[in-house]
Homo-oligomer: A and B are copies of this chain.
């Protein structure tokens, strides 16, 4: 696990300057492409070249179960985690459809679904048969958490080996908005009831119960806060740990990361607490409709690109933002300059 402390590289200042200069010469009023300009310039810095590209995208979805599901914090039964893994693999889930449309590589990693699954395309790197119930004890043991972090790092390494230009992490795990909310409360010190949302669709009574359970989780493990890894171990989940490891490793290996929604941002927050320099590598894709995500994204310098009221997870919000990155690069790389097109510049 020495890689955990490997520093994330800094963006290339020279490439940023070159990209910014290029943007200023393209046939448009300065700044008229808004966030698409900023994106192209950020990507230039991360990919260390004046003209970035997002051709090859890897999406790794990590699935695991949560002991805390037995507290009745989800609107869906726990069996859905395993059923959705099957659905990812057979192409019927949102992320499967999106990966196909984007021509992205989709891999599914079992980091600890309760039922053992078998499928030729499933990557099995299980840290346990679901986590323990964090309302009663630590969700993970130390060795388990390390296995899950490593599963994430391995996914990032596979993406790098396949020359991916962008890494997206996704997750599936019934009850994982409870784990993510507990992480936010512990790391951000935000009020539980302001950050707790409906997850997959709780009603008012269900939300109130979820708040009570999260309060129990926080009281149980408060002495470990705000140490990020211990907090992750006590209240998190295998798939959240895997995302944490994947984000850090992707950045260490020089790959920009597109972060999905509420659960993924919790992993991103843990990872940034471990290494603040990671923040440059994380592009937030969308603002989730899950109440509380706005607190989380406020911790990052750049706001999310999209606000479409999505709250599905799986990496779906990040996938939906991929075309924006691709179009930002295409505009940056292929538009004519004022000189090339013989277009007059701004009046003096």
Contact = CB atoms under 8 A, between A and B. Distances in A.
Interface of A: 26-36, 74-77, 79-80, 83-84, 86-87, 90-94, 97-98, 100-101, 199-201, 289, 305-312, 316, 319-320, 323-324, 326-327, 330-331, 334-336, 340-347
B97 A335 contact: yes
List the number of copies, as a whole number.
2
Contact of A347 (B77, B84, B93, B323): B77
Given A101-B326, A336-B92, A32 B346 contact: no
A346 B75 contact: yes
Contact of A80 (B32, B33, B344): B344
B76 A341 contact: no
A342 B84 CA distance: 9
A309 B31 CA distance: 9
Nearest to A320: B327
The 6 closest A-B pairs by CB, nearest first: A92-B336, A34-B309, A323-B323, A32-B312, A29-B200, A35-B308
B75 A311 contact: no
A312 to B, nearest CB: 4
A36 B327 CA distance: 19
A35 B341 contact: no
Contacts of A309: 31, 34-35
B97 A343 contact: no
26 contacts: A27-B93, A27-B94, A29-B201, A30-B201, A32-B311, A33-B312, A34-B289, A34-B311, A35-B308, A36-B308, A36-B310, A74-B347, A75-B346, A75-B347, A76-B344, A76-B345, A80-B344, A83-B342, A86-B341, A87-B343, A94-B331, A97-B331, A97-B335, A100-B334, A308-B324, A323-B323
The listed residue with most B CB atoms (<10 A of its CB), out of A29, A79, A83, A346, is: A29
B305 A308 contact: yes
B98 A327 contact: yes
A94 B312 contact: no
A330 B97 contact: yes
A94 to B, nearest CB: 6
A324 to B, nearest CB: 7
A28 B101 contact: no
A308 B34 contact: yes
Contact of A29 (B77, B91, B311, B334): B311
A31 B343 CA distance: 47
Given A76-B344, A308-B34, A344-B79, A335 B201 contact: no
A101 B330 contact: yes
Contact of A33 (B28, B94, B100, B200): B94
Nearest to A337: B92
